[in-house]
Amino acid sequence: MMKRHAKWLAVLAAIALLLLVLLYNGRKIAEQANRPMPARQETTLAADVAVVQVTTGRYAPTLEAFGSADAHYRLSLTTQVAGRVARLADSLEAGQQVRRGSVLVQLEDTDYRATLASAEKELASARLDLLEAEREAAQAQAEWRTSGMEGEPDSPLVLHEPQLALARAAVAEAEAAVTAARQDLDRTRIQAPFDALVVERSVSPGSYLQAGGEVAQLYSTDRVEIALPLSQRDWAKLPDLPTLEAGDWPVTLISVETGERWQGYVRRAERHLDDSNRQRALVAAVDQPLAHTPPLAPGTFVRAEIPGRELTDLWRLPPSALSQRGEIWYVADGALATFAAEPVASDAQALYIQPPESLRQQTVQVLTHPLSSYVPGMAVHPVEAQDE
């Protein structure tokens, strides 16, 4: 009996102890919950941003355009008379250069020499007839004066005037025939009309050519011209036409394929819009292109760099400074600021921005690589960008 009571007492003591522990823990938890929370201390670190320091200035941006070098003259050389090819010049081969006036093809000329001789004979005969007609006319006038008759004769035949006019006309006709025969004979010697590059030969020794038959394809070598289409916006960056067409406005030409360079100049400006691209072309030129080192061959596709006129109140910035949203970011009092911008001009090295009026008379730190995560007012630490 005593053992049973002792057992229950032990159980009750354990329960009481457990309750005391639970009450104690609950009290401590409540005290901890009611304690005030310590103040949160936030530390914000300013992000480093790469910047360039810019001020407004005067710049002459370089315009870029593309075009193909074309010979000043392209000619399909043809014969004006018919005949068999008797001789070809050694220089009449594709790739060779020929001088103005050099004989490229000699046609057989026997028939033309005979025609000229016949025409000269007819001319001599006509001149003889004219001398006789002039003598007869002079004699008729003398006889009329000595006849004692007054006034003019009833018919011009009395003084041989129609006969004299016919003889003179016959001489003129014979002279024209001689001139034509001599020209035809000269045309059997087919000459280069200008200094040229032979692109293609179309005849061989023994070939028979009809009048108008093709002899060769020639490109002139005096200069090449490059038509450079420009937008209206690009034209606005160039000087006026009298300045451009004065003959000394420079154009640098770079081969798209090899990177070789040539110095040219503005030759003229076209006054019409091209139907295919609705743009107006500036025509650049290079004189004596085949004499350059390296030579500028007709057909070379080139990139042209054209200096524009000087513009004022512009920032010159790296191309990466313009964000994808068309904004320029800069640092003002340690925080980011921005404004929307559209480049006034651009070239391979830089873009040119006209800043707001409030920023034009000061040095401004402009971000070189703005990120899309930037927001105005964000604290930053500007770091001067190194030249790339």
Relative to beta strand 103-107, strand 364-367 is unpaired
DSSP 44: P
Dist. CA 54–CA 353, nearest whole Å: 11
Q: Give the CA distances from residue 314 to residues 134, 196, 320, 351, in Å, rounded to whole numbers and listed in that order.
A: 88, 47, 17, 10
Least confident among 74-88, 185-199, 235-249: 235-249
DSSP string covering 80-139:
SS-EEEEEE-TT-STT-EE-TT-EEEEE--HHHHHHHHHHHHHHHHHHHHHHHHHHHHHH
5 pLDDT above the threshold of 90: no
Cis before residue 156, ω within 30 degrees of 0?
Answer: no
Percent of the chain predicted with pLDDT > 90: 65
pLDDT in tens, 179-223: 999 999 999 999 999 999 999 999 999 999 999 999 999 999 999
Q: Which helix (H) or strand (E) holds 69?
A: strand 62-71
pLDDT score of 43: 46
- 39 confidence band (pLDDT: 50, 70, 90): very low
pLDDT score of 4: 58
- 21 confidence band (pLDDT: 50, 70, 90): low
- 387 confidence band (pLDDT: 50, 70, 90): low
Least confident among 278-287, 326-335, 338-347: 338-347
pLDDT in tens, 110-123: 999 999 999 999 99
pLDDT score of 28: 63
Q: What is the mean pLDDT of residues 372-378?
A: 91
- 42 confidence band (pLDDT: 50, 70, 90): very low
Q: What is the mean pLDDT of residues 368-388?
A: 86
Q: What is the mean pLDDT of residues 266-279?
A: 90
- 161 confidence band (pLDDT: 50, 70, 90): confident
3 pLDDT above the threshold of 60: no
- 60 confidence band (pLDDT: 50, 70, 90): confident
Percent of the chain predicted with pLDDT > 70: 87
Q: What is the mean pLDDT of residues 272-293?
A: 92
User: Comparing 336 with 41, which gets the higher pLDDT?
Assistant: 336
The average confidence (pLDDT) of the chain is 88
Q: Is 22 helix (H, G, I), strand (E, B) or coil?
A: helix
pLDDT score of 10: 67
Q: Which helix (H) or strand (E) holds 346?
A: strand 345-346
Q: What is the mean pLDDT of residues 40-65?
A: 81
pLDDT in tens, 287-317: 999 999 999 999 999 999 999 888 889 999 9
239 pLDDT above the threshold of 70: yes
CB half-sphere exposure, 155, CA atoms < 13 A? 5
67 pLDDT above the threshold of 90: yes
Least confident among 162-171, 209-218, 323-332, 342-351: 342-351
CB half-sphere exposure, 354, CA atoms < 13 A? 7
162 pLDDT above the threshold of 90: no
